Structure 1
Amino acid sequence: MTTPIDRPALVRRLRAAGCVYAEDEADLLLDSADSPAALADLVARRIAGEPLEHVLGWAEFCGLRVAVDPGVFVPRGRTALLVAAAAAVTGPAPAVVDLCCGSGATTLALARRLAPRWLAATDIDPAAVACARRNLVGLDVPVFTGDLFAPLPPHWRGRLDLVVANAPYVPTEAVALLPPEARLHEAPVALDGGADGLAVLRRVAAGAGEWLAPGGHLVVEAAESQVEALCAALTAAGLVPGVRHDEDLEATAVTARRPA
């Protein structure tokens, strides 16, 4: 954009508003605006605390540009570990379902990385479903509205090679401690994991064995402090758990195999 905006002044305004990566954000905002008026609107939204990804309308995830609508969960960089863990345990041309798909970022990354023979996604939030459908247009990937496995076609039971779920895992009392960008601008259903953060993940674990094919895998994201309890729930559900950590991403992925 050709604009008289003073970039150093913009950086100072963003930094004063608490933007840690003010220089990078300034460049992204400048690139996204097609007029000084548009830039002023974007900057005002960002300074007011709206997530940068919602202001821009997209987020970078696993090297892909993913559309993110207002109110929809913003894909986190740490979830790249979930994608890597899924790719590591899954064979060629798998049948895959992504639960709690949000914007469809993980679904999109798996479509590129795994070349599934079929792939679908679900989310309980209609706004997230609409966003995911937009991101997955042209890929012949159905996105179902509903709670976890409930909206899937019944004849898929026992036929899935891979189920992934970036389900909410923040304990209810900790939601209030999240950065304002998350707790004020993302759907609570995408954040709140119940009393200990594992309410949704326990239901995923309980249902996975019914939907996975023998030898199939479940891969989920969790906090490191939740691993012991989650692995116990997976074992109780008849699955064989494993754990992967990535210190650089500050991420934990838990895998679980349905015995053959």
Structure 2
Amino acid sequence: MPVSASPFVVSSIVTTLRAAGCVFAEDEAELILSAAADHTDLARMVERRASGLPLEHVLGWAEFGGLRIAVDPGVFVPRRRTEFLVRQAAALAGHGAVVVDLCCGSGALGAALAAGLDRIELHAADVDPAAVRCARRNVGETGLVHQGDLFEPLPVDLCGRVEILLANVPYVPTQEVELLPAEARIHEPRVALDGGRDGLDVLRRVCARAPRWLAPGGHLLVETSERQAARAEETVARSGLIPRVVTSDELCATVVVATRPGPAGSVARRTGPADPIG
């Protein structure tokens, strides 16, 4: 039940948030009011947000793909632009597809994909214990979440069977991490942001092993920046996968979709337009 607040209290919250640099102070105030258990909780939430804590960490959830994804403090907040990657995956995944979500963070990608399709066999993995705990809450009974570095914790019987490999790897160059907004730089794990010298280090590691895990005709999908797209495409191609770059002007999103060569007819189980996710 949302906390009932007088116009004066609401105005005071908006003023506090605006003074802290919150661009959408009115919208944030409404969300905080709807989430607060009581006036003591409300004051605590406003104080935490004004101190610079990401709104999603204050609320305890982020909206992604039409779902409320639980996001604990210290866990990477899923970005709305990444919904575009999920939509691309939905267009390629068949009924009962074997899906792996690497660098899963909160598990948002796998959870959203599972919610948008009839049935998939979902496995997710992350090296961060806090992210794994969070992902297990979000994935629930729709899949299994494993803790470890990239492919290491996955069941070996997935080798050669993965039809959709989601890898939302960190791609911010190391020297640019300090230029990120404070919400990300201070409150999100560096391992989820820092992609190495040129931002492609983790992608290279994924590509080096992806062909072994993908089924013939299976797809690797990774998000990158517009200016990194060409180098990311080259990185993928060197692994023997066939890449293509797709973009969304609406979400300012760039995704590399890479396919493991396979028998004719196995490149994509579905070739229609992307399913609406959210």
Say whether the fold is shared (TM-score over 0.5): yes
Give the number of aligned pairs.
259
Contact residue 114 and residue 120 of structure 2 kept, 8 A: no
Partner of 1:255: 257
User: Which secondary structure state, in structure 2, belongs to the residue aligned with residue 143 of structure 1?
Assistant: strand
Q: 1:184-237 CA distances to partner (integer Å, 9 max, x unpaired)?
A: 000100000000000001111111100001000000100111111111111110
User: Which secondary structure state, in structure 1, belongs to the residue aligned with residue 37 of structure 2?
Assistant: coil
State how far apart, in whole Å, the 1-side matches of 2:216 and 2:261 are.
6
State how far apart, in whole Å, the 1-side matches of 2:183 and 2:222 are.
23
Q: 1:31-70 CA distances to partner (integer Å, 9 max, x unpaired)?
A: 1112211111000000000000000000000110010000
User: Which secondary structure state, in structure 2, belongs to the residue aligned with residue 50 of structure 1?
Assistant: coil
Equivalent residues in 2 for 1:210-221 (5 A)? 210-221=212-223
The residue type paired with residue 127 of structure 2 is: I
The residue type paired with residue 109 of structure 2 is: T
Contact residue 50 and residue 181 of structure 1 kept, 8 A: yes
Partner of 2:63: 60
Partner of 2:246: 244
> How many angstroms does 1:3 deviate by?
3.6
Contact residue 241 and residue 258 of structure 2 kept, 8 A: yes
Give the root-mean-square deviation of aligned CA atoms. Answer: 1.1
Q: TM-score, normalised by structure 1?
A: 0.97
User: Which secondary structure state, in structure 1, belongs to the residue aligned with residue 187 of structure 2?
Assistant: coil
Equivalent residues in 2 for 1:11-50 (5 A)? 11-50=14-53
Partner of 1:204: 206
State how far apart, in whole Å, the 1-side matches of 2:157 and 2:236 are.
23
Contact residue 96 and residue 116 of structure 1 kept, 8 A: no
Q: 1:55-104 CA distances to partner (integer Å, 9 max, x unpaired)?
A: 00000001100100000000000000110111122333211000000001
The residue type paired with residue 223 of structure 2 is: E
State how far apart, in whole Å, the 2-side matches of 1:105 and 1:227 are.
23
**Which of 54, 78, 83 is 1:80 aligned to?**
83
State how far apart, in whole Å, the 2-side matches of 1:20 and 1:192 are.
26
Partner of 1:118: 121
Unaligned regions of 5+ residues in structure 2, if any? Answer: 263-278
**Which of 145, 167, 187 is 2:169 aligned to?**
167
Q: Identity of aligned pairs, percent?
A: 56
Partner of 2:226: 224
State how far apart, in whole Å, the 2-side matches of 1:224 and 1:209 are.
24
State how far apart, in whole Å, the 2-side matches of 1:62 and 1:111 are.
11
* Structure 1 pair 166–97 and aligned structure 2 pair: CA distance change class (3 A): same
Which piece of structure 1 moves more, 6-15 or 205-214?
Answer: 6-15
